[in-house]
């Protein structure tokens, strides 16, 4: 381990968490400098702290020495961003590549964007972690400046459909807000509080149940908030795609995101709408337009709600056993495959069960051998459920446009409570508005479609992901809509691969009327533990 003089330690302590351990974190450095530092580190025999001292702190191009004076005044960003950016570009040319951008990241908040736009942004799978305001736990029943909180979509607001668009969205929100107290009261009467439930847990459960039953009335234009953490490379590609999107909202959002990210990681996002980015945008747009034009000759909505297993691996067990044995044998994979082919069914079953092991909770999942077998599911379910399942990123999924042509399902509680007429009125009126708008503005027409309408999408994932996705999304506290989808998927996997499905011991196949109650009770227990711990 390196030794440092007292002067060097004094310098380093401003930028690293310690100067004596082999493990430490960086601090008080702009993201662009961190990326450049790690890039240089990967091609140097020196330690990171020594690289930081010798090649960064003493480099006039980057000016870390100047930054110390600023740091002592407790101001943010001790390193001059402009110098850091210039230095980064020299580093990139000299001994780095695009992967350097994966070593710097940023948090960004996006507020008052439509639910429709969030799905486009969250389509990015690698290098980005999103978090979105929940329609399950938050009421969307307030106005801002006298208006309901939905996007005043500028293309539609500048068209002959402006009034129709507003009337349709207003009606969704008016019905939603009007039904909140009525549905909430009905739920409380149906499931009164018992003596073992705290007021906090009961109130939270009632709120969640009410949101669950009514969120389908909200249109895709509903304004929401979301946050992202991601690395520079992921942001660059995301922004490039957003700049080329057909929706004005998404393009405007890309401009705002690039402006703000440029404050933190300027070098990593500036190419997204530059020469390089525009070429990529044109390429993606041309492919999409040509494919859409070709596909239009086969257009037309068909099929109903449900889950269909479209494709699965008929040689699953052999592939998995080969992959299980591979790390433990000094043999090539094809030779191991020949050994497995000679095994009896019982031998392979024993190996697979041993590999699954004694799972004590759903976080105990089989290893990477289970990543060699895939399933492709075609799913038709409501847009609200799709939004929840869309959050799973370790898989491949694509959706069709959001339309009212695949129908919807009214929650049975809404029917039982006597509000079916109000629910249906929203669906019918939105469908009528969509039918008029879609003829001229097919992309923008999606904004008027409520979350209760069905959308079709496919999901392709491996067995290991199935353990995570299906056990999590079938758990008791989940929304009924996506719980049903997860349960149907499990039944299909169990049908074709009963041995692999047998390890999914934490699937919950039951139905519940008061889904969140037990989860809220567990929160109470944790709150009590925290209160005891911290007083």
Residue 519 pLDDT more than 90?
no
- Determine the distance from the C-alpha atom of residue 332 to the mean position of all C-alpha atoms in its chain, rounded to a whole number: 38
Residues facing 104 on adjacent strands: none
Half-sphere exposure of 408 (CA within 13 A, CB side): 24
Cα–Cα distance measured from residue 40 to residue 56, given in angstroms and rounded to the nearest whole number: 10
Cα–Cα distance measured from residue 381 to residue 408, given in angstroms and rounded to the nearest whole number: 8
pLDDT digits (tens, 9 = 90+) for 452-493: 999 999 999 999 999 999 999 999 989 999 999 999 999 999
Cα–Cα distance measured from residue 159 to residue 394, given in angstroms and rounded to the nearest whole number: 40
Name the 3-class secondary structure at 311: strand
Check: CB of residue 506 under 8 Å from CB of residue 361.
Answer: yes
Residue 21 pLDDT more than 90?
no
Cα–Cα distance measured from residue 317 to residue 428, given in angstroms and rounded to the nearest whole number: 49
- State the alpha helices, DSSP H only, in 401-534: 412-417, 420-437, 463-473, 480-496, 498-501, 517-534
pLDDT digits (tens, 9 = 90+) for 293-344: 998 888 877 777 899 999 999 999 999 999 999 999 999 999 999 999 999 9
What is the predicted pLDDT for the residue at 73?
A: 43
Cα–Cα distance measured from residue 205 to residue 518, given in angstroms and rounded to the nearest whole number: 9
Cα–Cα distance measured from residue 354 to residue 356, given in angstroms and rounded to the nearest whole number: 5
pTM for the whole thing?
0.87
Taking the alpha carbons of 366, 370, 371, 377 in that order, is the dihedral positive or negative? negative
**Which of 455, 461, 514 lies closest to 489 in space, CA to CA?**
461
Cα–Cα distance measured from residue 118 to residue 242, given in angstroms and rounded to the nearest whole number: 11
Model confidence at 513, pLDDT cuts 50, 70, 90, reads confident
Cα–Cα distance measured from residue 193 to residue 183, given in angstroms and rounded to the nearest whole number: 16
What is the predicted pLDDT for the residue at 232?
A: 87
Question: What domains lie within the chain, and their CATH numbers?
Answer: 6-103 (no CATH), 106-298 (3.30.70.3180), 314-369 (no CATH)
Q: How many CB atoms lie within 10 A of CB 256?
A: 12
Cα–Cα distance measured from residue 219 to residue 402, given in angstroms and rounded to the nearest whole number: 11
Residue 87 pLDDT more than 60?
no
pLDDT, mean of residues 23-47:
76
User: Which residue is associated with the tokens 């069914």?
Assistant: 345
Half-sphere exposure of 457 (CA within 13 A, CB side): 25
Model confidence at 98, pLDDT cuts 50, 70, 90, reads low
Check: CB of residue 104 under 8 Å from CB of residue 265.
Answer: yes
**Which of 61, 67, 53 lies closest to 91 in space, CA to CA?**
61
Check: CB of residue 383 under 8 Å from CB of residue 172.
Answer: no
Model confidence at 77, pLDDT cuts 50, 70, 90, reads very low
What is the predicted pLDDT for the residue at 45?
A: 75
In the chain, the percentage of residues whose pLDDT exceeds 70 is 91
Model confidence at 526, pLDDT cuts 50, 70, 90, reads confident
pLDDT, mean of residues 9-25:
86
What is the predicted pLDDT for the residue at 81?
A: 54
What is the predicted pLDDT for the residue at 69?
A: 45
pLDDT digits (tens, 9 = 90+) for 445-458: 999 999 999 999 99
Q: How many helices (H) and strands (E) does the chain have?
A: 23, 9
User: Which residue is associated with the tokens 């009467």?
Assistant: 189
Residue 185 pLDDT more than 70?
yes
């Amino acid at each position: 381990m390196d030794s440092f003089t007292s002067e060097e330690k004094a310098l380093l302590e401003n930028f690293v968490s310690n100067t004596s351990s082999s493990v430490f974190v960086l601090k008080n450095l702009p993201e662009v400098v961190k990326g450049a530092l790690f890039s240089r580190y990967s091609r140097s025999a020196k330690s990171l702290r020594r690289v930081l001292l010798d090649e960064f702190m003493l480099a006039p191009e980057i000016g870390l020495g100047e930054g110390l004076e600023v740091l002592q005044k407790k101001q943010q960003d001790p390193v001059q961003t402009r110098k850091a950016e210039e230095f980064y570009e020299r580093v990139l040319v000299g001994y780095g590549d695009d992967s350097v951008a994966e070593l710097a990241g940023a948090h960004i908040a996006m507020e008052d964007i439509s639910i429709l736009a969030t799905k486009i942004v969250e389509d990015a799978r690698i290098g980005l972690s999103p978090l979105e305001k929940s329609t399950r736990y938050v009421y969307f029943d307030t106005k801002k400046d006298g208006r309901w909180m939905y996007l005043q979509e500028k293309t539609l607001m500048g068209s002959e459909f402006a009034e129709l668009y507003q009337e349709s969205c207003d009606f969704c929100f008016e019905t939603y807000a009007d039904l909140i107290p009525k549905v909430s009261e009905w739920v409380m009467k149906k499931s009164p509080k018992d003596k073992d439930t705290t007021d906090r847990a009961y109130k939270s459960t009632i709120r969640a149940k009410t949101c669950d039953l009514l969120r389908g009335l909200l249109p895709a234009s509903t304004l929401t908030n979301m946050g992202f953490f991601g690395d520079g490379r992921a942001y660059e590609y995301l922004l490039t795609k957003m700049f080329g999107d057909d929706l004005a909202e998404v393009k405007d959002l890309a401009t705002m995101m690039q402006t703000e990210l440029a404050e933190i990681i300027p070098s990593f996002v500036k190419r997204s709408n530059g020469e390089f980015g525009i070429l990529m945008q044109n390429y993606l747009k041309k492919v999409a337009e040509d494919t859409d034009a070709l596909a239009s000759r086969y257009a037309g909505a068909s099929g109903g709600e449900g889950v269909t297993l479209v494709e699965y691996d008929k040689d699953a067990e052999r592939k998995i056993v080969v992959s299980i044995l591979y790390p433990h044998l000094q043999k090539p994979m094809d030779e191991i495959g020949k050994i497995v082919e000679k095994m009896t069914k019982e031998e392979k079953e024993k190996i697979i069960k041993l590999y699954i092991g004694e799972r004590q909770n759903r976080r105990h999942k089989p290893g990477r051998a289970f990543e060699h077998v895939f399933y492709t599911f075609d799913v038709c379910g409501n847009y609200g459920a799709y939004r929840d399942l869309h959050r799973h990123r370790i898989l491949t999924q694509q959706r069709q446009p959001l339309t009212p042509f695949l129908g919807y399902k009214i929650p049975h509680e809404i029917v039982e409570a006597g509000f079916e007429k109000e629910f249906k009125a929203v669906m019918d009126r939105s469908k009528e508005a969509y039918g008029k708008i879609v003829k001229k503005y097919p992309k923008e027409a999606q904004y008027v479609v409520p979350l209760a309408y069905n959308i079709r999408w496919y999901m392709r994932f491996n067995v290991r992901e199935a353990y995570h996705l299906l056990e999590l999304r079938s758990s008791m506290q989940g929304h009924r809509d996506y719980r049903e989808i997860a349960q149907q998927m499990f039944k299909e996997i169990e049908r074709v691969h009963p041995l692999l499905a047998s390890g999914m011991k934490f699937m919950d196949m039951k139905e519940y009327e008061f889904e969140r109650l037990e989860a809220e009770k567990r929160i109470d227990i944790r709150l009590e533990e925290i209160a005891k711990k911290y007083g």
